């Protein structure tokens, strides 16, 4: 994606960060693999929050970001992320999968009133680290950089 005009031309379909998804779709089509598309399987971190009654019917979440409710600003301040300002209406962003701290700094405890995806994301991360310990260093996982985001493999 070295050509800025290509990124600009295809900005709406975000080819710069989801190229592998498009690759899969094109490869499957080339091989004649058929799929049945079903909506509502995943609740994304940036989707509208759901009611507590609907939470038990959500089969999968997208772990991208987590927020603390605005009324918990004091608790959230130590983890506040400046990335994601467009979603400030959701609360105070305290975690992002792309941030260099995502694998080792998990905001905890999750305050009352947090949305479903934030609550589940942070609980799964926290509980996994409690059970299995921190993620080990690995040559198979790009490391964090002080610049703020994960390192892609060459």
Q: Is 129 left (phi over 0), alpha (psi -120 to 50) or beta?
A: alpha
CA distance 27 to 88: 38
CA distance 105 to 101: 5
Q: Tens of pLDDT along 92-148?
A: 999 988 777 788 889 999 999 999 999 999 999 999 999 999 887 766 555 555 544
**pTM of the complete model:** 0.75
Q: How far is CA 28 from CA 13, 14, 25, 55, in A?
A: 19, 20, 5, 32
Q: Tens of pLDDT along 33-53?
A: 999 988 888 898 888 889 999
Contacts of 143 (CB under 8 A, 6+ apart): 137, 150, 151
């Amino acid at each position: 994606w070295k050509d800025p005009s290509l990124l600009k031309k295809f900005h709406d379909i975000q080819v710069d960060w989801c190229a592998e998804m498009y690759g899969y779709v094109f490869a499957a089509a080339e091989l004649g693999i058929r799929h049945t598309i079903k909506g509502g399987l995943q609740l994304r971190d940036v989707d509208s929050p759901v009611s507590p009654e609907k939470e038990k019917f959500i089969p999968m979440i997208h772990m991208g970001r987590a927020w603390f409710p605005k009324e918990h600003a004091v608790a959230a301040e130590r983890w506040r992320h400046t990335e994601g300002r467009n979603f400030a209406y959701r609360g105070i962003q305290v975690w992002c999968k792309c941030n260099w701290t995502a694998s080792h700094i998990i905001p905890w405890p999750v305050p009352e009133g947090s949305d479903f995806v934030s609550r589940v994301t942070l609980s799964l991360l926290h509980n996994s680290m409690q059970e299995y310990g921190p993620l080990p260093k690995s040559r198979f996982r790009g490391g964090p950089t002080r610049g703020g985001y994960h390192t892609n493999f060459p």
